[in-house]
Amino acid sequence: MALALVVGLAMGSLFARSAAAITVEEIILLCKTGVSADIVIQNIRSSGARPRVGPAEVERMRKARVPDKVIIFLTGGKASRLGKTGGEARRSADDARQRDLDRKREAERLRLEAERLRREARKLAQDAKRARTHATALEGRVKAVLQAAFDDLRRGREWRAITAFHAFLGSGLVQPNSYPFLEGSYGLGRSLLAVGMYQAASGYLVEVIRRGPGTPRFDDAVTLLQKVVDKIELVHPVIALLAAFEPDLKGRPRPWLDEYHFFLGEFYERYANAAKALHHFGAVSAGSPRYPAALYHQGLIHTGRKKARTGIRFFRKALRAAKATKNGPVMDLARQAVARLAFEIGSFRAAAHFYGQIGRTSRLFPRAQYELAWTQVMSEKYRLALGTIHGLGSPFFSRYHFPDLRVLEAAIYLNMCRYKEAGRTLKRFARQHKRLTARVRAYLASRPSNLRLYNDVRRLAAGLRGQGLPKVVLNILLDDVGFFRTLKTARQMEREALLARRKLRGKVRKAVLADLRKRHRIYLQRAGVEIRRLLRDMMVKEDVVKVKADEIGLEVELAASEALKVARRRIAAGRKGRSRARGSRLVRLRTRPGQQVWPFEGEYWIDEIGKLRSRLRRACPVRKNK
């Protein structure tokens, strides 16, 4: 507000002097007070006369920062010429020389920059050439090292190949995610597998598989991993990842895909994913050697889902396919499964037929004979059942434990009214039961550690004394599939550690042993926990069987007492009771065409097992028809 007032007064004083010409000092004053160039020019015109302006005045106005527009108006367009005189001319000349110097400096700078760029380009070209030369040499070296290691593997020098592959992976010659590195991992896994070190090989094979189907050694690594899983228990996320690769594997050869689907089917069945297991087992083609086993597994899954009819249909298909391919193990498994289903629905004749078809050399034969005895009892074929039970008492089955076998035999004698035989059998059971349970209870009461539990069971498996555990316990433990896999895997790790100490040296020996020790500790803990659980479960089952034995013992006593009372009443009445026990206590066995009776002389032969028959006659009294 104050600035506007001063300017207005100054202008008013200037306008009051309309008759006198405006001076240069007044023009400078107006410009310093902020008056625009147009208003200043208007004031100059209204003053009636322009001041005389020479070079000195122009210089003064420029120093006072008078607008060029005002100076040009005062000089009539000659300000540029007037400004070039004196100091302005000198400045213009200096500016021209400076611009010329700047141009020369810029040109020199550009020349030096271009020269530097040319030198860098030559250096980069030389570095690139050296890098290409080094890469070519490195590639040749990598190929030579891998080729030499694979040659050792092909020629049977597996331990040397293991050392070479491990040294290659730790040499830093290639990046961990590169194909040569994966080639080395595959070679190391394959070499370890060739010497039976399945656990040590698994990690290297997994590294190849997790890179996906685009990896050159993917198919071979999957095939080798299947061999590993057949030998040890391997739980790894990469197995589930294999299922995600299924859309990318449709172009693989049919035999490879059959193995792939069967492998995943077993994995998902083991971890109770029935839907995925059925999908993969169903994808196994009929021409595959795995086809009968795939059908059998589908039958098991459907049976577990309470679909017995569907299950038995798959078991029958598996039996036919196994017969066509002469797959004995699957034939026996399918027969056992059909027999069990027939037993459940009360078709004892069919159950006995399929149990009887299981071969004597099969690992299922002892269990099949035990279940056959139950089938014969349920169908009241007691002489056959006694012969089967007698065969189970042979040395061929000494390591097997059937807790209720003697109780079943006593029940047969009870039904045949052979009370003395039933009593003797129950006493025999009581002695065996007492010895077994007393030893196991005393062992558990000592609170053994997981390590001691594992070591004692391992000693039993090696045929040595179990430090308090009876030998029969081993078979009870091994009947549990989960513990069998755990024990098998732990023992495999011990064998691999022994091989590593004997055959390997240097860094590879240290790395393999460190990995095996870490895994072995885990399995020791698992084995100890499972052994303790199984022993406690065994004691519960033994107690249940003891209760059944006591019940049968009570029935035997009551039946014997009742029979004695009946006999006394008949004697008192002067009548003789008719009994099957009259005369010989043995019966003559009937034979079919092609059969012959041979008396048992105390020696067991494997071809006799399953064909033994009892000649013991029933002793139950015969009632007269009214």
Look at 85 and 546; give whichever has higher pLDDT: 546
> DSSP labels for 338-396?
HHHHHHHTT-HHHHHHHHHTS-TTSTTHHHHHHHHHHHHHHTT-HHHHHHHHHHHTSGG
> How far, in Å, CA of 201 to CA of 195, rounded?
10
Residue length of the chain: 626
- Of the listed ranges 35-44, 575-584, 615-624, the least confidently predicted one is 575-584
Nearest to 367 by CA among 380, 378, 377, 358: 358
> How far, in Å, CA of 375 to CA of 79, rounded?
132
User: Is 255's pLDDT higher than 50?
Assistant: yes
> How far, in Å, CA of 354 to CA of 332, rounded?
9
pLDDT score recorded for residue 300:
95
* CB contact at 8 A, 208 and 182: yes
User: What percentage of the chain carries pLDDT values higher than 90?
Assistant: 49
* CB contact at 8 A, 268 and 242: no
- Per residue in 165-220, pLDDT (tens digit) is 999 998 888 888 888 899 999 999 999 999 999 999 999 999 999 999 988 899 99
- Of the listed ranges 156-160, 351-355, 446-450, 599-603, the least confidently predicted one is 599-603
SS (H, E, C) 313-349: HHHHHHHHHHHHHCCHHHHHHHHHHHHHHHHHCCCHH
- Per residue in 266-302, pLDDT (tens digit) is 999 988 899 999 999 999 999 999 999 999 999 999 9
CA 263 remoteness from chain centre: 12
The dihedral over CA atoms of 475, 479, 485, 487, expressed in degrees to the nearest 10, equals: -20
Domain boundaries of the chain, sorted by first residue = 2-85
Nearest to 469 by CA among 483, 480, 454: 454
Q: What does the pLDDT average to over 100-127?
A: 89
> DSSP labels for 255-280?
HHHHHHHHHHHHHHHHTT-HHHHHHH
pLDDT score recorded for residue 551:
94
Exposure of 324 by Cβ count < 10 A (0-12 exposed, 13-18 middle, 19+ buried)? exposed
Q: What does DSSP assign to residue 615?
A: -
pLDDT score recorded for residue 594:
66
- Per residue in 384-424, pLDDT (tens digit) is 999 999 999 888 888 888 999 999 999 999 999 889 999 99
Q: What does DSSP assign to residue 479?
A: T
- Of the listed ranges 47-61, 246-260, 524-538, 551-565, the least confidently predicted one is 47-61
Give the pLDDT band of residue 538 (cuts 50, 70, 90): very high
pLDDT score recorded for residue 83:
47
In angstroms, the first-to-last Cα distance of the chain is 147
> How far, in Å, CA of 69 to CA of 218, rounded?
85
pLDDT score recorded for residue 567:
75
pLDDT score recorded for residue 339:
95
- 150: which 2 tokens? 């694979």
> How far, in Å, CA of 195 to CA of 356, rounded?
41
Give the pLDDT band of residue 6 (cuts 50, 70, 90): very low
Contacts of 491 (CB under 8 A, 6+ apart): 458, 461
> How far, in Å, CA of 626 to CA of 624, rounded?
6
- Of the listed ranges 339-348, 550-559, 599-608, the least confidently predicted one is 599-608
- Of the listed ranges 91-95, 375-379, 521-525, the least confidently predicted one is 91-95
**Encoded amino acid at 115, one letter:** E
Q: What does the pLDDT average to over 57-85?
A: 72
- 591: which 2 tokens? 């034979």
The 10 Å Cβ neighbour count of residue 145 is 19
Q: What does the pLDDT average to over 347-369?
A: 92
Q: Is the pTM of this model over 0.85?
A: no
